[in-house]
């Protein structure tokens, strides 16, 4: 077996595919705008259609469209004529992916799409192909060179089709002013969704479980309060306003620096001007504050700036945000 420099091969492949994307970018014209405008104004769904490797790309683009504010379904062209095509109606717009533009399974579907009356567009590697000629608009992804040295396996061409599909999805996203909160609605599960929707109020300790003392409370009684509530921290208040926080770190410093501190008021040992967060803030914001300041807990305030909770790094870890 011939010894191959894999790193050299990888760099060659990436260079060729990057060149293909650069060529694609330069070749885009007003047709791209027209396709995006048509898809933007669809009354139904955006149906992506493909088979083989182009089918895999079409499926991915459909998922990206749906998750970024453009409802979409993928249909495998090989199964479409056996019932799946019934999911397409006049209100839909169809986006066909086919590198050759001559996929028999897709060509056989074109009469049905015409009979339904839906508009369909194509992304092909050949402007003169049957699919390209029959589409309302064809977006050309023809490349000058495949990364495959045998010029057989679709490589640069599939990258171009995938990138162009992403370009369409992002263009629609921007046109619709799709926001991170919109994104969260379609991603409620997993770490990503949790980071976008979980509020501090959802995770914080509150109510009777909240360790609270006043400025005159002794260190000994404060330690009893901290131990009984099990949060490793106490909020120090006066007239319902936060004056400081007492943590495990404050306790260690106190024991190292003070002689017989147990009967002294907690006001002498607490951390003043401690970091806080509002209860309606995203939990991920609490994580950022903790990480940036190298602390492990935050006092939570309401709209009146009154302390109503404590959120800890432990809570964020348990919620799967870290």
Q: Are residues 166 and 223 in the same domain?
A: no
Domain that includes residue 284, residue range: 200-318
Rounded to an integer, the average pLDDT of 158-172 is: 97
Those residues with Cβ within 8 angstroms of residue 1's Cβ, 6 or more apart along the chain or in another chain: none
Report yes or no: 117 and 90 within 8 Å, Cβ to Cβ. Answer: yes
Which residue matches tokens 């717009």? 93
Distance CA(262)–CA(42), nearest Å, equals 71
Q: Which structure tokens are listed for 52?
A: 């083989």
**102: Cβ contacts below 8 Å, ≥ 6 apart:** 126, 129, 130, 131
The CATH number for 85's domain is 3.40.50.10490
pLDDT at 1 over 70: no
Please tell me the predicted confidence (pLDDT) of residue 3: 78
Q: Is residue 193 part of a domain?
A: no
The pLDDT confidence band at residue 188, using thresholds 50, 70 and 90, is low
Q: How far apart are CA 149 and CA 127, in angstroms?
A: 24
Pairing of strands 307-312, 297-301: antiparallel
Which among 125, 148, 178 is the end of a domain? 178
Average pLDDT of the residues in 244-255: 92
Domain annotation covers residue 107:
yes
Q: What share of the chain is helix, strand, coil (3-state, %, to 5)?
A: 50, 20, 35
Contacts of 298 (CB under 8 A, 6+ apart): 274, 275, 276, 277, 286, 289, 290, 310, 311, 312
Strand order, beta sheet including 212-214: 212-214, 233-238, 241-247, 271-272
Tell me what pLDDT residue 222 has. Answer: 95
Q: How many domains does the chain have?
A: 2
| Integer Rg of the chain from CA | 30
* pLDDT interval class at 85 (50, 70, 90): confident
Residues of the chain with pLDDT > 90, as a percent, come to 84
- Round to whole Å and give the CA distance between 285 and 103: 50
Same-domain pairing of 24 and 169 = yes
Residue 187 has pLDDT above 70, yes or no: no
46 domain residue, yes or no: yes
Q: What is the pTM of this model?
A: 0.70
Q: How would residue 190 be classed by pLDDT, with cut points 50, 70 and 90?
A: low
Q: Decide if pLDDT at 196 tops 90.
A: no
Which CATH number covers residue 277?
3.10.580.10
Residue 1 lies in a domain: no
């Amino acid at each position: 077996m011939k010894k191959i420099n894999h790193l050299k091969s990888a760099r060659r492949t990436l260079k060729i595919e990057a060149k293909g994307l650069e060529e694609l970018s330069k070749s885009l014209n007003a047709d791209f705008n027209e396709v995006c405008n048509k898809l933007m104004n669809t009354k139904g769904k955006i149906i992506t259609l493909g088979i083989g490797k182009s089918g895999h790309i079409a499926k991915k683009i459909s998922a990206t469209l749906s998750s970024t504010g453009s409802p979409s379904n993928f249909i495998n062209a090989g199964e479409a004529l056996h019932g799946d095509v019934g999911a397409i109606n006049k209100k839909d717009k169809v986006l066909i992916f086919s590198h050759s533009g001559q996929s028999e399974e897709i060509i056989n579907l074109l009469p049905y799409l015409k009979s339904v009356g839906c508009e369909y567009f194509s992304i092909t590697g050949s402007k003169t192909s049957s699919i390209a000629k029959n589409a309302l608009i064809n977006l050309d992804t023809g490349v000058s060179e495949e990364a495959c040295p045998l010029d057989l396996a679709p490589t640069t061409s599939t990258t171009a089709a995938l990138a162009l599909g992403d370009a369409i999805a992002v263009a629609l996203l921007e046109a619709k002013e799709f926001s991170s909160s919109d994104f969260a609605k379609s991603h409620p599960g997993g770490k990503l969704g949790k980071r976008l929707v979980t509020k501090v109020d959802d995770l914080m300790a509150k109510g009777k479980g909240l360790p609270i003392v006043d400025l005159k409370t002794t260190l000994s009684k404060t330690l009893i309060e901290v131990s009984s509530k099990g949060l490793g921290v106490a909020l120090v208040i006066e007239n319902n306003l936060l004056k400081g926080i007492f943590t495990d770190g404050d306790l260690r410093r106190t024991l190292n620096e003070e002689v017989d501190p147990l009967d002294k008021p907690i006001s002498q040992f607490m951390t003043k001007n401690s970091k806080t967060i509002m209860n309606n803030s995203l939990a991920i914001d609490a994580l950022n504050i903790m990480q940036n300041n190298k602390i492990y807990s935050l006092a939570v305030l309401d709209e009146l700036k009154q302390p109503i909770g404590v959120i800890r790094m432990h809570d964020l870890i348990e919620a799967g945000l870290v």
